[in-house]
Amino acid sequence: MIYDCDLVRGRGESMKAPDREADEAFMREALVEARKAADKGEVPVGAVLVCDERIVGRGRNRREAAQDPVAHAEILAIRQGARHLGSWRLEDCSLYVTLEPCAMCAGALVNGRVRRLVYGATDPKAGFCGSLGDLVQDPRLNHRLEVESGVLAAESAELLRGFFAELRSGERKTSKQRGRSGSLKTV
């Protein structure tokens, strides 16, 4: 399913080059996904994959619910976008994500040939797009992404801070703590 982001279209015209207004509009869509993750007891990270100014993939963290270590927002948005576009090559796409991607997600961006990464908050403990390393711009690799960081960083960081503060205080429970461990039956 394609989602129009009317916020970045002016009177039906299509924007040709990325700009701050468009970046913020798509980042707000990623924040919507992050809030949905938080509502389900997941770490609030959200992502949208954009191609030709249209959202072609959405993702939010689902590691707890799916009991899947790779169910990160970025991976889910990339998978949905690739299915929609019918190609693993996402050369004309941009990924908007509320938190700097980890090494796994950075690798998926490179392998998917995503053109551009826009992220909100930096992740000094796991971020691999500038913080701990910079996989997406490593000159030894055959593909590098354009990167824009800090877009709606305060909102993204506050969502994460609030989530973890509630978790520490006991006001919030993860899906696992609520009794939905997602354990699988042996076949």
Tens-digit pLDDT profile for residues 72-116: 999 999 999 999 999 999 999 999 999 999 999 999 999 999 999
What is the rounded average pLDDT of the residues 138-157? 97
What confidence score (pLDDT) does residue 170 get?
Answer: 85
CB 15 within 8 A of CB 22: yes
Residue 120 in tokens: 């909100």
| Residues 34, 37, 43, 45, CA torsion sign | negative
Among candidate residues 164, 47, 61, 145, the one with its CA nearest the CA of residue 97: 47
User: Residue 12 corresponds to which amino acid?
Assistant: G
Q: Is the pLDDT at 7 greater than 50, yes or no?
A: no
pLDDT at position 181 over 50 = no
Instruction: Say what the pLDDT of residue 173 is.
Output: 63
pLDDT at residue 177 in the model: 56
pLDDT digits (tens, 9 = 90+) for 148-173: 999 999 999 999 999 999 999 987 66
Q: At residue 180, does pLDDT exceed 80?
A: no
pLDDT at 122 over 60: yes
Q: Read out DSSP for the chain? A: --EE-GGG-BTTBPP-S--HHHHHHHHHHHHHHHHHHHHTTS---EEEEEETTEEEEEEE--HHHHT-TT--HHHHHHHHHHHHHT-S--TTEEEEEEE---HHHHHHHHHTT-SEEEEEE--TTT-TBTTS-BGGG-TTSS---EEEE-TTHHHHHHHHHHHHHHHHHTS---TTTTT---PPPP-
Active site members: 74
Total-model pTM: 0.84
pLDDT value, residue 176: 56
